[in-house]
Structure 1
Amino acid sequence: MPLGNLRRALIALTVLPGIWLAGCSSTEPFEEPAPVPDVVGDAQLKPVWRMSVGDGHDGQLLHIQPALLGDVLYAASADGELVSVDPDTGDLNWERDLDREIMAGVGGDRKRLYLVSSDAQLLSFAREDGEPGWEVSLPNEVLAPPQSNGSLVVAQTIDGKVLAFDVETGDKRWQYEAAVPVLTLRGTATPLVGSEMTLVSFANGQLFGLSSESGQPLWQYAVGEPKGRTELERLVDVTAQPIVIETVALVVGYQGNLAAVDIRNGQEIWSRRMSSLRSPAIAYSNILVTESNGTITAIDGASRQVAWSQEQLAWRQPTAPLVLEDHLLVGDFEGYLHALSLEDGALAGQLKLDSEGLRVPMIRWKDRALVYTNGGRLAAIELIVRGSAPTAAPPRERPSR
């Protein structure tokens, strides 16, 4: 399938984590990160509104990310604050103190929100007001947000179990288990739950298409094959949710490949060697990847050759990329938000948001980026090219609780 017109066909479904081994508590990168680059470009990043959501990730290596469902933004913190926010204004619709620690979320569907607590309880809440609903026990920790197709909600544990529950009752519908290596990266790809098929990825480098009805495997595809003599060399975790374009899934793995896979049968369409922990993005027929070494690379969708590469963010653990106007946004572990030109990858703008860093994927809302920092700062960011628009007004801010 030619990928020259991917931008028009894109269904953007993004996600996850950082370069950490399971069990490690350090928040320092393995390699010496590049210094904060000097930026002399013409792009200004301006907060339109911002607010605090509890303690954010509370200093832990978590991936609690907000969810945009319809025209409402939901966010949660590790210390149990859950909020519903108007993404246009930053005004609160409601907030709840859950009085329990949260490890994963937010997922949702038309009626409910889903979180996972630190004691491995899958929790449901009413979208309308945050009223608690059913909860069920899971067999192990969950780092990725549960996902729902409106009929069932799917959660994936860190030890390779995928469990589906009825959204109305919380009754277990099915369970699938994959063998995972002893040594893995601390991160799990967010399941992608469709009406007929659920896409799940594992630390063994495999992407599976499971029947959403029964949980039975329909096909599997090896994103990466373990190679080398040491356990570190053999890491092939897939921690990034695929992007689906019509009947094609774009998937990338750590020390594996960037590949296009036919989701009807799991057959490879093409692949090229690449290592990444984040979901790619699509713009102007390019596939945009934040590589595991911090390099931002644009791959031409037709030729699969490198269109441009930006190395000034090396080892700064850039987040999943987000396309905004004619720029690409990525955050880093020191809390900087960077704007890159989509034309050639040149750094065009920069904004410091939170010294605790950025980790979870950003969300596109109209002409803004919705950003949630590790320290719990939730903000809407506007990109202004100098000379094209007046300077934005000072951001609206709600004080911390």
Structure 2
Amino acid sequence: MARLRTIKQALLPGAVLVALSAGCSLQKPLPEPQVEEKIDVEVVRSSWPVGRLEAGLAFDPYYADGQIYLADGRGWVKSIEAEQASKRWLRKLDKPLSAGPKVAGEKVFVADRKGGFYALNREDGEPLWEAQLSSEILAEPRMTRGVVIARAGNGRLYGLDAESGERLWMFERSVPPLTLRQRSAPAVSGSSVVVGLEGGRLVALDVTDGSVRWEHTLSEPRGRTELERMRDIAAEPVIDRGAVYAVAYQGELAAVRMATGSSQWSRSVSSFSGFLLDNEEIYLAGTDGRVWSFDRRNGATAWRQEKLEGLSLTRPVAYGDYLVVGDNAGYVNWLRLRDGELMARTRLSSVPIERTPVVTSAEDGLVWVIDSRGRITALRVD
């Protein structure tokens, strides 16, 4: 568990789970759900393209146009061909990284632990420009209308010119005394940026100048201690069909009108890893390891899967008829989309799987999963 050296010390998500469980030991065995395997999952290939991925840093793999982009804490950024898992290019930056890669247009964006923000050429990894921000970047950047949005760990959000790295604007909100180390990536749509803040607030900004369009309280801090009052929006919001969907740790899942910031509906549920918005459903990985399916129109529960309770899960992804989530016991879990039945658990590693799996658009339909040591594995249902 992360040490509370000062009241400002940020907690890793897993550390918060331990702290919330009275008398829980760090050595307590993880749950091992007994599952009757109802589908055959094939390991297609496996390799070690990057180094160890520290918890709390934003190193989700990114897939685009047949390429998987990866980064690690040592400063390596890599592009590999998804079908052959062969290296396309490899770039070593001077400083330990904390976030990325994010592909937008012809650029790949990454950030380091001292506020350095880098744009690389997507074709060969060649550096294009570098900007210096105020502190460590703990969330994936986003880009819209030629503006790159980068979020620093000290509560500042920056708008940078995508071609030059020039700072266009800065937005700032104070950070509560105790927060998760994980930060929510901003969501973008057209000229709007929506960011989930510590303390349970959603803010919509104009991408051209960073001005506030609206603010919405997703979840009010409650409780006697700082730990009880934590309401961080640590998972990325999703903008779709005129609404923003967001979830808070120890708070609510809610739909908010994009035009006005007013509430459509909310449900009491906690998550720091996030959710998948797919057609008319929202699939959410809860803080307690339960997986939920909600109706996106009104928040009504469609199903709930409790067999993974006690595990820390990744954000879910859809793969054919299945919902795929990794867990901190080193398994990939396969749930049937229509009813949440747990169809299989595939053991890949002795270390946690904390990064969101990637589903490629290749004809053979692969799911790529990376563990905390940097080993990446391609899976498919036979």
TM-score, structure 2 length as denominator?
0.89
- Structure 1 residue 259: Cα displacement: 0.8
Please say which of residues 197-206 and 36-45 is displaced more in the overlay: 36-45
- Name the CA distance, whole Å, in 2 between partners of 1:255 and 1:268: 18
2:317 equivalent to 1:322: yes
Matches of 1:27 and 1:280, distance apart in 2: 18
Mapped contact 2:12–2:180 kept (Cα < 8 A): no
Q: State the partner residue of 1:162.
A: 157
Report the alpha carbon displacement of residue 33 of structure 1 after superposing the two structures with TM. Answer: 6.4
Q: Tell me if 1:40 matches 2:36.
A: yes
User: What whole-Å deviation, never above 9, does each CA across 1:39-82 have from its counterpart, x for those lacking one?
Assistant: 2131222232332123131x554231122233322111111221
- What is the total number of aligned residue pairs between the two structures? 366
The answer as to whether partners of 1:239 and 1:277 remain within 8 angstroms in 2 is: yes
CA RMSD, aligned part only? 2.2
Check the 8 A contact 1:33/1:314 in 2, yes or no: no
Check whether the contact 1:324–1:383 (CA below 8 A) recurs between aligned residues. Answer: no
Over 6 Å off, 4+ runs: 18-21
Q: Provide the secondary structure at the position in 1 that maps to 2:77.
A: strand
2:74 corresponds, among 62, 72, 79, to 79
Q: Tell me the distance in 2 between the aligned counterparts of 1:89 and 1:150.
A: 34
Deviation (angstroms), 1:284: 6.3
| Kept after mapping to 2: 8 A contact 1:244/1:250 | yes
Match of 2:63?
A: 68
Once the two structures are superposed, residues 261-309 of structure 1 have per-residue CA deviations (whole angstroms, 9 ceiling, x without a partner) of 1112212111111111122123463321111111111223355332221
Partner of 1:228: 223
**2:51 counterpart (33, 55, 80):** 55
Asked if 1:277 is matched to 2:266, the reply is no
Answer yes or no: is the 8 Å Cα contact 1:19–1:292 preserved in 2: no
Aligned to 1:103: 98
> Residue 199 of structure 1 is aligned with which of 194, 202, 215?
194
* 1:163-312 matched pairs, under 5 angstroms: 163-283=158-278, 285-302=280-297, 304-312=299-307
Q: Which stretch shifts more, 281-290 or 171-180?
A: 281-290
- Aligned mates of 1:295, 1:93 — CA distance in 2: 38
Structure 2 unmatched ranges of 5 or more: 22-27
TM-score, normalised to structure 1's length?
0.85
Q: Give the Cα separation in 2 of the matches to 1:241 and 1:20.
A: 26
Identity within the alignment, %: 29
- Cα offsets for 1:157-213 (capped at 9, x unmatched): 122100111111111000000122011111100112333011111102111110000
**Paired residue for 2:381, among 370, 383, 395?**
383
CA contact (8 A) 2:370 2:376 kept: yes
Q: Measured at CA, do residues 33 and 142 of structure 1 come closer, stay the same or move farther in structure 2, by a change above 3 Å?
A: farther
Does the 8 Å CA contact 1:107/1:148 hold for their aligned counterparts? no
After superposition, what is the alpha-carbon deviation per residue over 1:305-331, rounded to whole angstroms, capped at 9, x for unaligned? 322211221221011111111111111
Q: Identify which of 367, 371, 374 aligns with 2:372.
A: 374
User: Equivalents in 2 of 1:180, 1:266: separation in Å?
Assistant: 21
Give 5+ residue unaligned stretches, structure 1: 1-17, 385-401
